[in-house]
Amino acid sequence: MPQYLAPQSDVTRLAFMSRAIKTAEAVPEGGIQRLPAQLLADLKIHYAAYRAAYDAAEAALSQRKTETAESAAAMARLQMYLSHLWTAVTNRAQRENQPVGVLGYYKLTNDGARPTPRSREEWLEMAQSVINGDAAAAAAGHPAAVSPSAAEVQDILDIAIAESNDLPVADTAYDEAQTAVAALRPQADKLIKAVRAAVIYSTYDMDPASQRRVLRNFGSVYRHLPGETVEDEVETAVASEDE
């Protein structure tokens, strides 16, 4: 016997509810309405709220992905500028036989080894330290960094900071949107069960295959076991229950 697949994801819940509403609303005048009026009204109201919350969560996720990508790109550019500055400073120190202490202004060791920040915030702080160090080096009588200059690094740092600051905002918006969706799932599950119960009650005198056909029209999805004859059906296009 085909097995009923209860909706397990937002997509499958919404698909069930949408199909049930469309089928109920398509009943001609004088036809058999298998859903009580109040159940249909509750279903429509909750579907609209659930759909809106789900769309908002998807939009928030897209924005979060965008902010993450933009922040990563800005951070990569900052790292490139720092790398170029460190190379220029190290090469100049060797070429002009500058005191090894000059490298310390740029957070380099005496032999030119570079620091290895591990996080985004550490890179931002390191960039600021290098910029401040360049100013200190100039104040001590040493030539300022060029190609890139500290001012150029500052411009890139400002962009990286701005992009980094956008991430927590996007994360919070997505978390809040997800919470809103999660709050609507229990009621959606109750309404889905109520729809099935109402349809099953109204088709109690039908044979099992005919009853399942009606249930499919109201959103139910079934899985056939290996070797079973597939019933004549048009399944609702939804994702699997494992999503």
In this prediction, residues 102-120 reach a mean pLDDT of: 96
| Range 120-137 average pLDDT | 98
3-state DSSP assignment of residue 195? helix
Q: Considering the chain, what is the average pLDDT of its residues?
A: 93
Could you give the residue ranges of the DSSP H alpha helices within 96-149? 101-104, 120-139
Bigger pLDDT: 228 vs 94: 94
Q: What is the DSSP string of 17-58?
A: HHHHHHHHHTPPTTS---S-HHHHHHHHHHHHHHHHHHHHHH
Q: What is the pLDDT of residue 230?
A: 67
CB 13 within 8 A of CB 185: yes
171-212 pLDDT, tens digit per residue, is: 999 999 999 999 999 999 999 999 999 999 999 999 999 999
* Model pLDDT for residues 136-175, shown as the tens digit of each residue: 999 999 999 999 999 999 999 999 999 999 999 999 999 9
On the question of pLDDT at 109 being above 70, the answer is: yes
Partners of 222 in beta bridges: 4
pLDDT, residue 232, reads: 56
Asked whether the beta carbons of 183 and 176 are under 8 A apart, the reply is: no
What type of residue sits at position 240? S
What whole-number percentage of the chain has pLDDT above 90? 90
Over its C-alpha atoms, the chain yields an Rg (Å, rounded) of: 31
Q: pLDDT, tens digit, for every residue of 36-55?
A: 999 999 999 999 999 999 99
Please report the pLDDT score of residue 236 as a whole number. Answer: 40
pLDDT confidence band for 235 (50 / 70 / 90): very low
For the cut 90, the answer to whether the pLDDT of residue 237 exceeds it is: no
Distance CA 151, CA 148 (A): 8
Q: How confident is the model at residue 98 (pLDDT cuts 50, 70, 90)?
A: very high
Q: Is the pLDDT of residue 231 over 80?
A: no
Task: Look up residue 71 and give its amino acid.
Answer: S
